[in-house]
Structure 1
Amino acid sequence: MPKTALVTGATQGLGLALVEGLAQHLTQADTVYLTGRDIDRVNQAVHAMPGGGAQVRGEVLDVATPGAADRLAAQLHARHGGVDIVFNNAVMRVGPDDDPRAIVEDYAEVNNFGTTRVLRAFAPLLRDGSRLIVVASSLGTLHYLAPVLRDRFDGLSSLDEVDKQVAAWRDAVRDGSARAGAWPGFVNIPSKIGQVAAVRALAAQRREHDTAHGILLAAVCPGMMNTSTSAQWWDVSAAPTPAQAAIPLVDLALDPVNPDHYGQLIRNGQILPWAPAVG
């Protein structure tokens, strides 16, 4: 059966590199959907794709819009009967000069509620042997959260519970109370922890089914990349390009499933521990 893949946030950077990598490794019978919020940028990205490999199709998808992921999932189900690879990569970037209180609502809407919308929409479409992968970060572990806050994200059993905890953090940032508490000032940390918690929560519900059907559900850390956004925070002159960073992610999507990776955060094929070691 021809394969169907989808990448969110794919008009630039890592998302664009993921589309290109998937298209080059799949066959002409397969389809890779390149999605983004702006139709002009989507079309430009599709037209700039190298030839060969899978067909690349553009679709508008704003993960911050309630119902948008569900509508696209329904369209892909009607066209293809299911999906084989989904990369949730859409992200709102934040700079050092941004006021967290001013941006946190939009930030959480894209990065966190957008993630859970994609998981809810596309998990039911997964065919045998498929992959559902959330692009996150090594910052998305409990190591980077104060011990007093770790229970908020640990052991959650549903995406609704994850959304509830993310909303509580968002509200604390927005009203300024997070500054007086134990929350880290860098909003990327709780956001990434929320993304990994979402993968873990969904995995807790689906593990038996997915294991029996060869399905991988995981979060992945691409590592530091040489991008203009990262350059606002760190010296990334020696860091890999998005195209280089995409290679192990594409491998994760196409290589045989390692059962140990299920529900975990993966970087370069290795599991990053969710919680600090005890003792």
Structure 2
Amino acid sequence: MSAVRTALVTGANQGLGRALAEGLAARLRPADLVLLTGRDAGRVDTAARQVAQAPGTRSRVAGRVLDVGDAGAVAACAGELAERYGGVDIVVSNAVAGLVPERSQAEQADEFIDVANGGTHAVLRSFGPVLRPGGRLIVVASSLGTLGRLPARLRPLFDGADLNQVESAVESWRRAIHAGTAQEAGWPLWVNVPSKVAQVAAVRAVAAERRARDLASGTLIASVCPGMVDTRASRPWFGDHGGAQSPSEAAGPVLDVVLAPEVDPARYGELIRFGEVLPWHGGTPPTEQEELVVP
């Protein structure tokens, strides 16, 4: 990586995203810059100020308003950072829209897909080209993102797909939700499952195109599963949080991937959970009961 590094975390004003920004600010060097981003200017400013003043912070910290659901805004941000700093060294795509039990999945699908999937696509498209050699572009996903989580008839939509094909599959799923035909087509009721599969597929698509040159330059593109995390977004879906990690605990293994000095080719383009690669073709479709409780 470059002598002075620039890192950006999306969805970073609270929860896991904030913990990731805090961890980067504590583990990077004083000259490095951590950009903490989110949609709400007030929350972003407050979080950035608090992280900058935290006792363990070593690097510079700044807040920036960024709505990853707006592809134009993401492209503008990437272009500005490339012009100002010559590129970026670390990008962690973490933004997600929350789901609440009180409303149907269909009612919440658009915002969820726009942020989780549209945001992932925008970050990959805009920040991939400005990622400096030796950089890291990491998408926070889930163990629900393995291909085996989908019924067999839907898996070809994502297996070996390029980014445009992944995006097309996501939009086909969205149309089925609105048409009321998603369940008939085999899509899981819980929107998190197709969304996470699509996120991991998008990472794999971009990584497949870049693999040779990225490995030659020590650059890593991958997705990560942080495990169960106790956050405001996850709390409504669990009766017992006894086994959940705090955001800071969950951030640790993710940051270990981000800041590893060397790239393991076996991890490149893969979904990583606690340091181990989760097989892309692994997993099984969730049962109806699991769909009711898994965030």
| TM-score (normalised: structure 1) | 0.96
Match of 2:220 among 211, 216, 220: 216
Contact kept, 8 Å, 1:89 with 1:135, in 2: the verdict is yes
Which residue of structure 2 aligns with residue 66 of structure 1?
Answer: 71
Structure 1 residues 61-111: Cα deviation after superposition (integer angstroms, max 9, x where no partner) = 001113011111111112210111100000011122321222212211111
Percentage of identical aligned residues: 50
Match of 1:207 among 206, 211, 231: 211
Q: Counterparts of 1:10-159 in structure 2 under 5 Å?
A: 10-49=12-51, 50-51=54-55, 52-157=57-162, 159=163
Question: How many angstroms apart in 2 are the aligned matches of 1:72 and 1:204?
Answer: 25
The residue type paired with residue 84 of structure 2 is R
Contact kept, 8 Å, 1:105 with 1:174, in 2: the verdict is no
Which residue of structure 1 aligns with residue 254 of structure 2?
Answer: 249
The residue type paired with residue 227 of structure 1 is T
Question: How many angstroms apart in 2 are the aligned matches of 1:98 and 1:86?
Answer: 32
The residue type paired with residue 2 of structure 1 is V
Secondary structure of 2:157's partner? coil
Question: How many angstroms apart in 2 are the aligned matches of 1:212 and 1:168?
Answer: 36
The residue type paired with residue 199 of structure 2 is Q
Which residue of structure 2 aligns with residue 260 of structure 1?
Answer: 266
1:129 deviates by 1.1
Match of 1:190 among 194, 205, 211: 194
Question: How many angstroms apart in 2 are the aligned matches of 1:239 and 1:106?
Answer: 26
Q: Counterparts of 1:268-279 in structure 2 under 5 Å?
A: 268-276=274-282
1:123 deviates by 0.5
Structure 1 residues 136-186: Cα deviation after superposition (integer angstroms, max 9, x where no partner) = 0000011211111111111102x1111100000111112110122311100
Secondary structure of 1:67's partner? helix
Contact kept, 8 Å, 1:227 with 1:236, in 2: the verdict is no
Secondary structure of 1:220's partner? strand
Where do 4+ consecutive residues of structure 1 move more than 2 Å? 95-98
Question: How many angstroms apart in 1 are the aligned matches of 2:59 and 2:178?
Answer: 44
1:47 deviates by 1.1
Question: How many angstroms apart in 1 are the aligned matches of 2:111 and 2:232?
Answer: 20
Question: How many angstroms apart in 2 are the aligned matches of 1:119 and 1:70?
Answer: 10
The residue type paired with residue 22 of structure 1 is L
Secondary structure of 2:36's partner? strand
Structure 1 residues 19-57: Cα deviation after superposition (integer angstroms, max 9, x where no partner) = 000010011100000000011111000111115311011
1:228 deviates by 2.8
The residue type paired with residue 122 of structure 1 is F
Which has the higher mean CA deviation after the structures are superposed, 222-231 or 117-126?
A: 222-231
Contact kept, 8 Å, 2:15 with 2:232, in 1: the verdict is no
Structure 1 residues 102-131: Cα deviation after superposition (integer angstroms, max 9, x where no partner) = 221221111101110011110111112110
| TM-score (normalised: structure 2) | 0.91
Aligned residues: 276
Which residue of structure 2 aligns with residue 175 of structure 1?
Answer: 179
Secondary structure of 1:85's partner? strand
User: How large is the RMSD of aligned CA atoms in angstroms?
Assistant: 1.2
1:228 aligns with 2:245: no
Secondary structure of 1:139's partner? helix
Contact kept, 8 Å, 1:226 with 1:237, in 2: the verdict is no
Question: How many angstroms apart in 1 are the aligned matches of 2:177 and 2:105?
Answer: 7
The residue type paired with residue 221 of structure 2 is L
Q: What runs of 5+ residues in structure 2 fail to find an aligned partner?
A: 284-295
